[in-house]
Amino acid sequence: MEQQSQTYRFAWRGIEIEATYTPRKWGVIAHLEIRSITSERAPLPITETGYRSHFHQPGTIEAHGGDVMAQVTAWLDEEAAKPAWLAYVEASRQGDLFA
């Protein structure tokens, strides 16, 4: 049985994000969709396209406190500390003369 989706909007480092969480999709799996909405399709540390669809075991989010926004924020923060994202941020600041 599919459970009702829940949609959350929040800001992360100046980017407006929408996260839609379905605790049980198709009766067997949980689904989390994350998209940047302002700026639309702005890259995020978890996706270059501004959109990420993530399937996981039901109960995973609930087992970690159930706060979807806190968990997505923690995921973004964790990935933002990695060299690839730090390089992207630095390049974005400087601009690219050859793009």
59: tokens are 């109960």
Nearest to 13 by CA among 84, 85, 99, 67: 85
Residue 37 banded pLDDT, cuts 50, 70, 90: very high
pTM: 0.86
Which structure tokens are listed for 62? 């609930």
Instruction: Say how far apart CA 73 and CA 30 lie, in whole Å.
Output: 18
Give the confidence band of 95 by pLDDT, cuts at 50, 70, 90.
low
pLDDT at 40: 87
Confidence of residue 99 (pLDDT cuts 50, 70, 90): low
Would you list the DSSP string of 30-96? EEEEEEEEETBT--BTTBSSSEEEEEE-TTHHHHTTS-HHHHHHHHHHHHHTSHHHHHHHHHHHH--
How many residues make up the chain in this entry? 99
pLDDT, position 1: 66
pLDDT in tens, 38-93: 888 999 999 999 999 999 999 999 998 989 999 999 999 999 999 999 999 998 88
Q: Report CA dihedral (62, 67, 73, 74) to the nearest 10 degrees.
A: -50
